[in-house]
Amino acid sequence: MAIISRTFRNVTWTNIETKNAVNCEILVNLDNGSTQIFTAVVSKPDDGSINEDWEAIMEKFGTESIDEATTESVQAKQAKREQERIDREETDKRQSEFEKQEALFAFKLEAFEIEAVKNSKDRATKALIRKSKSIPEVQAYTTILLMKELNNAEQQQKTEEPPASE
Judge contact between 29 and 4, C-beta under 8 A.
yes
129: number of Cβ within 10 Å: 22
Task: Quick: pLDDT tens for 115-135.
Answer: 999 999 999 999 999 999 999
Give this prediction's pTM: 0.60
Over residues 65-117, the pLDDT tens digits come to 999 999 999 999 999 999 999 999 999 999 999 999 999 999 999 999 999 99
Domain layout of the chain by residue ranges: 3-84, 103-160
Cα separation, 22 vs 11, in Å, equals 6
> Measured between alpha carbons, how far is residue 86 from residues 22, 75, 80, 95, 116 in Å?
31, 16, 10, 14, 47
* Residue 9: pLDDT over 70: yes
Q: How distant, in Å, are the alpha carbons of 8, 44, 85 from that of 124?
A: 75, 81, 45
Distance CA 83, CA 87 (A): 6
Contact 36, 25 (CB under 8 A): no
Give, as one character, the DSSP assignment of residue 157: H
